[in-house]
Amino acid sequence: MADFKHVGLIGRPGSERALHTLKRLIRYLHSCGTNVVLEESTATALPGHTMEVCSYEALGKACDLVIVVGGDGSLLGAARSLAKYKVPLLGVNRGRLGFLTDITPNDIENKVGEVLDGKYMMETRFLLDTSVIRKGALIGGGDALNDVVVHPGRFIRMIEFELYIDGQFVYSQRSDGLIVSTPTGSTAYALSGGGPIMHPKLDAIVIVPMNPHTLSSRPIVVDGNSEIRILIGEHNSAYPHVTCDGQNHVVTNPGDEIHIHKKPHKLQLLHPLNHNFYETCRSKLGWGSHLGE
C-alpha cells in the first residue's frame, strides 16, 4: 500500500476538458479519503471549493504525490518546479500526444486507484540546467526536462556558433540553431529535427543541428554528465534565443556563452503497471503493430 495521504493537483489552465477531468478526479480522491491540495492557479478555476490551496513550493513540500491533469506541456512545467522536492508526479492526459501523461480520462478511477494502492512503476528522469553568460556575468537561464533550443527567434536567418563538449572544441556551425535534448525530450522537438529516439533509462544527451549549412552535420549522442558550452559568434546579425522546454526564453548577444549540464536532482515520474515505452511509441508515432493485425 502506497503512503499517498496528501495528493496535490495541477490542472491545465483554460482547458474545459482538463477542468471536467479535474472535478472527476477530485470526487474520486475524496471518496478514497485522500486529502486533496490544489495548486494556486488551478484553484481559481474551481470557485467555492473548500480544499487547501498551495504554491508550487508548498505543494512540493506538503504532498506525497502530485497529479497533473493536462498535456505534456503541463507536466513539463510541474516537473521543473517540483523535481527538487522529490515528490513523484503522475500525469492524466488531456492534451495531444501524451508521452508523459499516460493515464486516459476514462481510466482515472481504475489507474489512479491502482497507484494509490501501491501498484505503479517509477521512473527517474534527469533535467538540464542552462546558464547564459555575458562577459563573465550570469544574465539568465532555466531548467529543461525536454530540451534546450538555441534558435534565431522571430527572424528566419542562420546563426553562427561554436560547440564545445567537456572543454573540447567540436565544431563551428552556421544553421537555424541547435537542440540539446534529454532522453525524455528525444520524442519531442529533437525527433522532428532528425534526432534519434532514446530510451528514458539512458544517461545520455543528444545534440541535434537545425537545418545546418552542411550535409555532413549529424546528431551527436554524448554522456549524460557532459558539460556543453555554446559560444554565440561575434558576427551574428541576429540575437539568438535560448528556450528551455519551449516555455522559458533568454535573448543572447554575440559573444555570449550558453552552458548546459545535468541538474543534480531528478524527476520521479509514476506510470501504471502496464506502461510500456515501446507501446507508447507505437500508439503515438504510428509504428506498425504485429504482422497480421
Task: Looking at the structure, give the CATH architecture of the domain made up of residues 127-263.
Answer: Sandwich (2.60)
pTM of the model: 0.94
Do 6-120+272-285 and 127-263 have matching folds? Answer: no
How many Å apart are CA 177 and CA 268, to the nearest integer? 30
What is the domain partition of the chain in residue ranges?
A: 6-120+272-285, 127-263
CATH superfamily of 6-120+272-285: Probable inorganic polyphosphate/atp-NAD kinase; domain 1 (3.40.50.10330)
φ, ψ (nearest 5 deg) of residue 217: -85, 125
Q: Which three cell numbers stand for residue 33?
A: 479519503
Burial of 167 (0-12, 13-18, 19+ CB in 10 A): exposed
The residues that bridge with 209 in the sheet, in sequence order, are 178
pLDDT confidence of residue 264 = 94
List active site positions.
72
Backbone Cα Rg of the chain: 20
Q: Which pLDDT belongs to residue 21?
A: 93
Q: Report the distance separating Cα 110 and Cα 284, nearest Å.
A: 22
pLDDT by residue, tens only, the chain of 293 residues: 468 999 999 998 788 888 999 999 999 999 999 999 999 999 998 988 999 999 999 999 999 999 999 988 899 999 999 999 999 999 999 877 678 888 988 999 999 999 999 999 999 999 999 999 999 999 999 999 999 999 998 777 889 999 999 999 999 999 999 999 999 999 999 999 999 999 999 999 999 999 998 888 999 999 999 999 999 999 887 889 999 999 889 999 999 999 999 999 999 999 999 899 999 999 889 899 888 76
In degrees, to the nearest 5, what angle opens at C-alpha 139 toward C-alphas 138 and 144? 90
d(CA 219, CA 206): 7
